[in-house]
Amino acid sequence: MNEKINKIEALKKEKNAVIMAHYYVADEIQQLADYVGDSYYLSETATKVTADTIVLCGVSFMGESAKILNPEKRVLLPDMTADCPMAHMADADKIQTIRQKYDDVAVVCYVNSTAELKACSDVCVTSSNALKIVSSLPNRNIYFIPDTNLAHFIAEQLPEKDFIFNDGFCHVHHNVTKEEVSALKKRYPAAIVMAHPESRPEVLALADYVGSTSGIINHAAKSGSSQFIVLTEAGVLYELRKNNPDKEFFTTEPPQICSGMKKITLDNIISVLENDNEGISMDKALEEAARKPMERMLELSI
C-alpha cells in the first residue's frame, strides 16, 4: 500500500494535481486526499484550488460539479462508472410542466443530480445549505428535486413555502428503517442519534441531531456525550473515530454502504493520473446552463 501511496504522491507533483475526496470513500483514500469534505465543501473548495488538475474521489455528479465550476481545469474521476442512482431520479420534462403549472415557482436542485437536471434548475443546494438557501428565495412554490426525504425535512421547517415533492431518494439512507433505529437506541440507550436528512422522515423523527455529513462530524466533536448512533454512510466513521478517539460510534448492521463511492481505489487513482486524458468534459452550453444554479448556490451560502 505504501508503494501505491508513494506513486500517487509522485504523480500528483508531476501533473500538478490535487486529490479531493468525499467522506464516503474508503478510509485509505480519505487518508491520502489533500481535501476531504461533504458535497458543499468539495464544490466550494474546487473553486479555490490553484492546481491544474483535480482528482475527484467520489461519484460522477461530484466530478461534474467540480468541472462545471472550473471549466478551465482538468477534473479526473478515478472510476467513470462511479454513479449515484438518485442523481437521475428527476425529469427535465416534468420540470417544464411544473414551471407551466405554477407561476411563482423556484426549481431547487440538490447537487446530487446530473448536469442536465442542474441546467433546468434555478438554484442548487446541498444538505448543509438547503434550509438557508430555500428560506432566502422570494418564491412561494418550491419544486425540490431529486430527493424527497431532504425536501420533506426542509419543508417541515419552512411552513411559509409550498413544496412540490419529487419521488427520488438515496437508497443508502432510505433503506434504514425506524425499527432498526429503535433497536439501536434500545441497545445503546445513552447514545446520541445523528442522522443525515436523506433518511426517511420516521427515522429523522427518532434522531437527536439531523445534519449533513460535516454537520454530523461537527456535532459529535462539540457534544459532551461519549456514545453516538450514526445514521449515514459508514465512510464517515473514519473521520469521527479519528477526531474523537475517546468516543464510541455505532451504526446499523450491516452498515450503510454507497457502492458508487467505494469504487474509488488507490489503483484507479494511479491509472487516471497516469493516463493523461482530458477528464470530465461536457457540452459547453450544458456546462454554462448548469453553472448558473451552482454559482447562485455559492453566493447564497455565504
Span 15-44, contacts to ligand SF4 by CB under 6 A: 24
Closer to ligand 13P by CB, 21 or 170: give it: 170
Closer to ligand 13P by CB, 61 or 143: give it: 61
Which of 113, 126, 166, 256: binder of ligand 13P (CB under 6 A)? 126
Nearest distance from C-beta of residue 58 to ligand SF4, angstroms: 7
Name the one range near ligand SF4 by CB under 6 A: 25-33, 48-56, 96-104, 257-265: 257-265
Closer to ligand 13P by CB, 38 or 79: give it: 38
Which of 11, 124, 130, 172: binder of ligand SF4 (CB under 6 A)? 172
User: What are 94's three cell numbers?
Assistant: 416534468
CA distances from 214 to 28, 89, 101, 108 (A): 19, 24, 37, 21
Nearest distance from C-beta of residue 37 to ligand SF4, angstroms: 14
Closer to ligand SF4 by CB, 197 or 260: give it: 260
**Which residues are within 8 A (CB) of 175 and not within 5 positions of it... i.e. 6 or more apart?**
256
Angle between helices 213-222 and 39-46 (to 10 degrees): 110
For the chain, how far is it from start to end, CA to CA, in angstroms?
40
Report the partner that residue 239 touches, choosing among ligand SF4, ligand 13P, none (CB closer than 5 to 8 A by kind): none
Name the one range near ligand SF4 by CB under 6 A: 99-107, 156-164, 241-249, 254-262: 254-262
Does 112 bind ligand 13P (CB under 6 A)? Our answer is yes
Which of 30, 39, 114, 252: binder of ligand 13P (CB under 6 A)? 39
Does 258 bind ligand SF4 (CB under 6 A)? Our answer is yes
Nearest distance from C-beta of residue 19 to ligand 13P, angstroms: 17
Nearest distance from C-beta of residue 276 to ligand 13P, angstroms: 28
Span 85-124, contacts to ligand SF4 by CB under 6 A: 85-86, 112
Nearest distance from C-beta of residue 183 to ligand 13P, angstroms: 24
Residues in contact with ligand 13P by the rule CB under 6 A: 38-39, 84, 112, 126-128, 170, 198, 212-213
Q: Which residues bind ligand SF4 (CB under 6 A)?
A: 24, 59, 84-86, 112, 170, 172, 233, 258, 260-261
